[in-house]
Amino acid sequence: MKHTIIFLISLSISYITFAQNKLLTVKDVEVGARREFYPSYLQNLQWQGKSLNFTYQDYNTIYQQSVTNANAVTLITLAEINVALKKDKLDTLVNIPYITWENENEFHFIAENNWYAIKMPEKQVIASIKFPEEAANFKLFYSKKLAAYTLKNNVFVIGTNNIPKAITNDRNSDIVNGDIVSRNEFGINDGIFWSPTGNYIAFYRKDNSKVKNYPLVDITTREAELKNIKYPMAGMASEHISLGVYNISTNSSLFIEKDDTISEKYLTNITWSPDESSIYIQVLNRLQNHMKLNKYSVKDGSLAKTLFEEQNDKYMEPLNPLLFLNKTPGQFIYQSRRDGFNHAYLYTTEGALVSQLTSGNFEITDILLLDSNDHLFYTSTEESPIEQHTYKLNTRTGQKAKLTRDAGTHRVLVNQNSKYCIDTYSSTQVPRSINIISATGKIERNILTAQNPLKNYNMPEMQISTLKAADGKTDLYYRLIKPIDFDPNKKYPAIIYVYGGPHTQLVTNSWLGGARLWDHMMAQKGYVVLTVDSRGSSNRGLVFENIIHRQCGVTEMQDQLEGVKLLKQLNFVDMDRLGVHGWSYGGFMTLTMMVNNPGMFKTGVAGGPVTDWKYYEVMYGERYMDTPTENPVGYEKTSLMAQAKNLKGKLLIIHGAVDPTVVWQNSLDFIQECIKNQVPVDYFVYPLSEHNVRGYDRIHLMGKITDYFEDHLK
What is the Cα–Cα distance from 129 to 149, expressed in whole angstroms? 12
Interface with a second copy (CB under 8 A), residue from 36, 88, 112, 225: 225
* Number of neighbouring beta carbons within 10 Å of residue 655: 27
User: Sheet harboring 343-348: ordered strands across?
Assistant: 323-324, 331-336, 343-348, 353-356
Q: Do 555 and 637 meet the contact criterion of CB atoms below 8 Å apart?
A: no
Residue 223 makes contact with a second copy by CB under 8 A = yes
Nearer to a second copy, 31 or 354 (CB): 31
- Binding segment toward a second copy, per CB under 8 A, in 346-354, 497-505, 571-579, 691-699: 691-699
Active-site entry in 278, 584, 667, 689? 584
Residue 686 makes contact with a second copy by CB under 8 A = yes
* Residue of 266, 247, 273 whose CA lies nearest to 188: 266
Interface with a second copy (CB under 8 A), residue from 6, 83, 166, 219: 219
Interface with a second copy (CB under 8 A), residue from 190, 630, 697, 710: 697
Nearer to a second copy, 18 or 696 (CB): 696
Residue 236 makes contact with a second copy by CB under 8 A = yes
Pairing outcome for strands 323-324 and 213-218: unpaired
- Binding segment toward a second copy, per CB under 8 A, in 136-144, 242-250, 416-424, 685-693: 685-693
Handedness of CA 480, 693, 582, 229 (dihedral sign): negative
- Binding segment toward a second copy, per CB under 8 A, in 136-144, 294-302, 486-494, 660-668: 660-668
Nearer to a second copy, 233 or 386 (CB): 233
Active-site entry in 290, 503, 691, 700? 691
What is the Cα–Cα distance from 689 to 536, expressed in whole angstroms? 28
Query: Cβ 596 to a second copy, closest distance in Å?
Result: 22
Nearer to a second copy, 231 or 478 (CB): 231
- Binding segment toward a second copy, per CB under 8 A, in 408-416, 501-509, 567-575, 669-677: 669-677
What is the Cα–Cα distance from 257 to 296, expressed in whole angstroms? 10
- Binding segment toward a second copy, per CB under 8 A, in 194-202, 206-214, 369-377, 534-542: 206-214
Query: Cβ 602 to a second copy, closest distance in Å?
Result: 15
What is the Cα–Cα distance from 141 to 102, expressed in whole angstroms? 10
Query: Cβ 687 to a second copy, closest distance in Å?
Result: 4
* Number of neighbouring beta carbons within 10 Å of residue 161: 8
Residue 685 makes contact with a second copy by CB under 8 A = yes
CA atoms within 13 A on the CB side of 274: 11
What is the Cα–Cα distance from 611 to 589, expressed in whole angstroms? 9
Interface with a second copy (CB under 8 A), residue from 682, 690, 691, 710: 682
Tell me, rounded to whole angstroms, the distance of Cα 631 from its chain centroid. Answer: 28
Interface with a second copy (CB under 8 A), residue from 348, 645, 699, 710: 699
Residue 687 makes contact with a second copy by CB under 8 A = yes
Query: Cβ 668 to a second copy, closest distance in Å?
Result: 4
- Helices and strands, number each (H, E), in the chain: 10, 44
Nearer to a second copy, 30 or 383 (CB): 30
Number of residues that bind a second copy (CB under 8 A): 44
Give the DSSP H/E element, type plus range, for residue 550. Answer: none
Residue 703 makes contact with a second copy by CB under 8 A = yes
Residue 380 bears catalytic tag = no
* Number of neighbouring beta carbons within 10 Å of residue 535: 22
- Binding segment toward a second copy, per CB under 8 A, in 155-163, 284-292, 338-346, 676-684: 676-684
Interface with a second copy (CB under 8 A), residue from 92, 170, 700, 710: 700
Active-site entry in 389, 659, 689, 712? 659
Q: Report the DSSP beta bridge partners of residue 157.
A: 148, 165
What is the Cα–Cα distance from 81 to 109, expressed in whole angstroms? 12
* Number of neighbouring beta carbons within 10 Å of residue 165: 14
Residue 704 makes contact with a second copy by CB under 8 A = yes
Q: Report the DSSP beta bridge partners of residue 47.
A: 54
Give the DSSP H/E element, type plus range, for residue 281. Answer: strand 278-284
In one-letter notation, the amino acid at residue 73 is V
Residue 709 makes contact with a second copy by CB under 8 A = no
Nearer to a second copy, 80 or 710 (CB): 710
Residue 264 makes contact with a second copy by CB under 8 A = no
Interface with a second copy (CB under 8 A), residue from 98, 680, 694, 714: 680
- Binding segment toward a second copy, per CB under 8 A, in 42-50, 115-123, 315-323, 667-675: 667-675
C-alpha separations of 305 from 302, 373, 440, 558 in Å: 9, 28, 40, 45
Q: Do 117 and 108 meet the contact criterion of CB atoms below 8 Å apart?
A: yes
C-alpha separations of 375 from 54, 108, 352, 361 in Å: 22, 28, 21, 22
Interface with a second copy (CB under 8 A), residue from 15, 668, 691, 692: 668
Using a 10 angstrom Cβ sphere, with 0-12 exposed, 13-18 middle and 19 or more buried, the burial of residue 50 is: middle
Nearer to a second copy, 170 or 697 (CB): 697
- Three state DSSP letters for 285-297: CCCCCEEEEEEEE
Q: Cβ contacts of residue 562 below 8 Å, gap of 6+?
A: 467, 468, 469, 470, 476, 532
- Binding segment toward a second copy, per CB under 8 A, in 50-58, 120-128, 418-426, 694-702: 694-702
State phi, psi for 284 to the nearest 5 degrees.
Answer: -115, 140
Interface with a second copy (CB under 8 A), residue from 169, 197, 675, 714: 675
Interface with a second copy (CB under 8 A), residue from 3, 173, 672, 694: 672
- Binding segment toward a second copy, per CB under 8 A, in 161-169, 379-387, 451-459, 699-707: 699-707
Query: Cβ 153 to a second copy, closest distance in Å?
Result: 21
Three-state DSSP at 252 gives: strand
Q: Do 139 and 146 meet the contact criterion of CB atoms below 8 Å apart?
A: no
Give the angle 90-178-323 at the CA atoms, nearest 5°: 100
Interface with a second copy (CB under 8 A), residue from 228, 306, 373, 446: 228
Residue 712 bears catalytic tag = no
* Number of neighbouring beta carbons within 10 Å of residue 295: 19
What is the Cα–Cα distance from 52 to 275, expressed in whole angstroms? 30
Interface with a second copy (CB under 8 A), residue from 4, 121, 161, 226: 226
Residue 612 bears catalytic tag = no
* Touching a second copy, residues 19-78 (CB under 8 A): none
Residue 612-651 contact track with a second copy, rule CB under 8 A, x = bound: --xx------------------------------------
Question: Would you give the DSSP letter of residue 278?
Answer: E
Interface with a second copy (CB under 8 A), residue from 292, 683, 691, 710: 683
Residue 217 makes contact with a second copy by CB under 8 A = yes
* Touching a second copy, residues 576-615 (CB under 8 A): 614-615
Question: Applying CB under 8 A, which residues contact a second copy?
Answer: 212-215, 217, 219, 222-226, 228, 231, 233, 236, 614-615, 657, 663-665, 668-669, 671-672, 674-676, 678, 680, 682-688, 696-697, 699-700, 703-704, 707
Residues marked as catalytic: 584, 659, 691
